[in-house]
Copies of this chain bind each other. A is one copy, B any other.
Amino acid sequence: MPSYTAPTRDAKFILNEVLDVASYGNLPGFQSATPDLINTVVDESGKFAAAVLAPLNQVGDHEGCTRHPDGSVTTPTGFKAAFDQYVEAGWSTLTAPEEFGGQGMPHVLGSVLEEFISSANQSFGMYPGLTQGAVSAILATGSDEQKALFAPRMIANQWLGTMNLTEPQCGTDLGLIRTRAEPQGDGSFAITGTKIFISAGEHDLAENIIHLVLAKTPGAPDSSKGISLFIVPKFLVGDDGSIGERNAVQCGSIEHKMGIHGNSTCVMNYDGAKGWLVGEEMKGLAAMFIMMNAARLGVGIQGLSQAEVAYQNAVAYARDRRQGRALTGPADPAEKADPIIVHPDVRRMLMDAKAFTEGMRALVLWGGLLVDLTHNAPSEEERGQADALLGLLTPVIKGYGTDKGFDTAVNMQQVFGGHGYIHEWGMEQFVRDARIAQIYEGTNGVQAMDLCGRKLASKGGAAIQAFFKMVDDEVAASDGELAPLAEALGKAVGEQKAATMWFMQNAMANPNNLGAGAHHYMHIMGVVCLGLMWLRMAKAAAVRVADGDGDGAFYQAKLTTARYFFERFVPDVGALRRKIETGAEALMALDEDAFLTAA
């Protein structure tokens, strides 16, 4: 059975020494977030995830969720009890606003918690995880009455939430939605339609489920401009929060999926269910993006989380499993064979994973901090800058993070040889679970287009220029032993600038030139972002090494891994740029029939 230990030391290093969260103590929410409290939250959340949730991960995979003839759904053995513990320990309220019963802690701490929970049990984490997005949408666009009624109960996870977007004919292109909302004259709407792939659509964890549903009102334009967002509770509720009658929404079936079996992914049938508009009619797409952006950061964390837990288990296996001898001569002559961690190709996979997960953790937590700054930075200008940067990073965290997260899980499975292919070892579950993160909340192709088609161009390219300046400044400020790392990062960002310029010069003439390179560009920016993180981490570590810090091995490993990152990740950037610069011509040249198999 696989094991999991929350990487609390690394999280604390990033929070305290790289991001210096304590330096934001003047901002709302950060006052109470002293280093001591930060460390306690990190340690306790790590313990909870490892002790309570990790042991249920394989159970969830094997059992899956069970739909009963009446449409009710039972989660896997142990999930309900673990969920009650989660709620009781107060994890659900950690970063929620105090006004609605939350603890008001910085969002960046929530990102730590999210990683640990998702590493321990990705399927479990999705139940409370999706609720957060639903709460965000209600808080951002709901009426005061809706906020008062739903937010406290959802934040307390007394009720959970869902996001109902996808329909059989409609995924990325929400303009194709067919679900209808008919006004009933009493302020409510009758919602009718079928939604698919609804994570946590039905389950036994909470007393109510609050569905946020996209639908079209009569006469609305037949495009994404005609979409409205509705609250559709599983059980109707009184103004006092009392549970009333069952609404006309049912789980029609549970999808048979490649992974995340512990989460009930449902087909939801709305048959004139009572719903209430959230925000303005036909402004549903904007409200949806509030949920979606929060969810995308969460999905990026899932990429990290599966890479991390897979890495930990691969390390343990590589230290334990003995096959063959080190190329430089027996490392352990008393035994018949050496542990496979002596083999350079095994090391390569482990070092790739270490360089990715630690760099990605820093990026994810930086993203979490930017969420805080978006809300709480002192000036509107600073809030706007944080928002623009976060907008730029979100598709990278989601797209690059989950592509590399999946690749890393696959490589960690590879360390196990044949045993990696066998259920009992748990590695193949990490791969199957990690796979979904590249797909949902907008496929990674959609992320790439969001980055290149929307975020790069937004406000005349202000965000990407600010990002370039930030990287350039970091490079310029790094000397001494950091100089070689800075030089490599400077080269990488130079390639990104060139690719950006190429888009500017060629996308106008033919927008396919942008589309044909967007995925590669997202990966270039992923490497540059991780490079920026590694340079900052190396800087923080170098200070401590110079100080002769007692935890010297930890900091020395940071410096070595930073060097490895720049050696082994950065060369890809040039190759990706050259691919981008080949443009769309050959890529789009074939007639569609030329793809058919000729007999």
Residues of chain A touching chain B, judged by Cβ–Cβ distance below 8 Å, are: 5-10, 43, 46, 166, 169-173, 175-176, 196-197, 222, 255-259, 312, 315, 318-319, 322-324, 327-328, 336-337, 339, 341, 343-351, 354, 406, 410, 413-414, 417-418, 420-424, 428, 431-432, 435-436, 438-440, 443-445, 448-449, 453, 510-512, 514-516, 518-519, 553-554, 556-557, 560-561, 563-564, 567-568, 571-572, 574-576, 578-579, 582, 584, 586-599
- B residues within 8 A CB of A424? 256
Q: Are B421 and A435 in contact (CB under 8 A)?
A: yes
Q: Are B587 and A431 in contact (CB under 8 A)?
A: no
Q: Are A327 and B514 in contact (CB under 8 A)?
A: yes
Q: Are A587 and B351 in contact (CB under 8 A)?
A: yes
Q: Are A328 and B512 in contact (CB under 8 A)?
A: yes
When C-beta atoms are compared, the residue in chain B nearest to A257 turns out to be B421
Q: 29 interchain pairs (CB within 8 A)?
A: A6-B599, A9-B599, A10-B597, A46-B599, A173-B337, A257-B423, A258-B432, A319-B592, A327-B515, A328-B510, A328-B512, A343-B515, A344-B516, A345-B448, A345-B449, A345-B518, A347-B516, A348-B516, A348-B519, A413-B435, A414-B443, A414-B445, A417-B439, A420-B439, A560-B586, A561-B590, A568-B579, A568-B582, A571-B575
When C-beta atoms are compared, the residue in chain B nearest to A224 turns out to be B324
Q: Which of B328, B336, B519 contacts A345 (CB 8 A)?
A: B519
Task: Report copies per complex.
Answer: 2
- B residues within 8 A CB of A166? 418
- B residues within 8 A CB of A435? 410, 413, 421, 428, 431
Cα(A254)–Cα(B63), bound, Å: 19
- B residues within 8 A CB of A328? 510-512
Q: Which of B8, B173, B586, B596 contacts A324 (CB 8 A)?
A: B173
- B residues within 8 A CB of A418? 166, 171, 196-197, 439-440
Q: Are A417 and B567 in contact (CB under 8 A)?
A: no
Cα(A52)–Cα(B564), bound, Å: 51
Q: Are B414 and A343 in contact (CB under 8 A)?
A: no
Nearest chain B CB to A58 CB, angstrom units: 11
Known: A345-B519, A414-B438. A598 touches B258 (CB 8 A): no
Q: Which of B176, B346, B420, B598 contacts A323 (CB 8 A)?
A: B176
Cα(A6)–Cα(B598), bound, Å: 8
Cα(A432)–Cα(B588), bound, Å: 30
Nearest chain B CB to A359 CB, angstrom units: 15
Q: Are A587 and B564 in contact (CB under 8 A)?
A: yes
Cα(A433)–Cα(B511), bound, Å: 37
Nearest chain B CB to A521 CB, angstrom units: 11
- Not counting A256-B422, A553-B594, a sample of 17 additional A-B residue pairs whose C-beta atoms are within 8 angstroms of each other reads A8-B598, A9-B599, A169-B322, A173-B337, A255-B422, A256-B424, A258-B423, A258-B431, A315-B597, A327-B512, A328-B511, A344-B515, A345-B448, A345-B516, A414-B444, A421-B439, A432-B432
Q: Are A345 and B445 in contact (CB under 8 A)?
A: yes
Q: Are A515 and B345 in contact (CB under 8 A)?
A: yes
When C-beta atoms are compared, the residue in chain B nearest to A562 turns out to be B586
- B residues within 8 A CB of A7? 597-598
Nearest chain B CB to A507 CB, angstrom units: 9
When C-beta atoms are compared, the residue in chain B nearest to A351 turns out to be B587
When C-beta atoms are compared, the residue in chain B nearest to A577 turns out to be B571
Q: Which 9 pairs, one residue from A and one from B, show the smallest C-beta to C-beta distance?
A: A344-B515, A9-B598, A258-B428, A327-B511, A567-B582, A345-B445, A256-B423, A571-B575, A575-B575
When C-beta atoms are compared, the residue in chain B nearest to A563 turns out to be B586
- B residues within 8 A CB of A590? 351, 557, 560-561
Nearest chain B CB to A68 CB, angstrom units: 21
Nearest chain B CB to A209 CB, angstrom units: 20
Cα(A586)–Cα(B563), bound, Å: 7
- B residues within 8 A CB of A324? 172-173
Known: A258-B432, A328-B511, A414-B444. A594 touches B557 (CB 8 A): yes
Nearest chain B CB to A562 CB, angstrom units: 9
- B residues within 8 A CB of A351? 586-587, 590
Cα(A132)–Cα(B443), bound, Å: 42
- B residues within 8 A CB of A453? 327
Cα(A361)–Cα(B598), bound, Å: 14
Cα(A343)–Cα(B446), bound, Å: 10
Nearest chain B CB to A311 CB, angstrom units: 8
Cα(A383)–Cα(B26), bound, Å: 79
Q: Are A598 and B10 in contact (CB under 8 A)?
A: yes
Cα(A563)–Cα(B589), bound, Å: 11
Known: A171-B417, A599-B5. A344 touches B258 (CB 8 A): no
Nearest chain B CB to A158 CB, angstrom units: 30
Cα(A406)–Cα(B561), bound, Å: 28
Q: Are A597 and B5 in contact (CB under 8 A)?
A: yes
Cα(A318)–Cα(B328), bound, Å: 51
- B residues within 8 A CB of A576? 571
Q: Are A579 and B567 in contact (CB under 8 A)?
A: yes
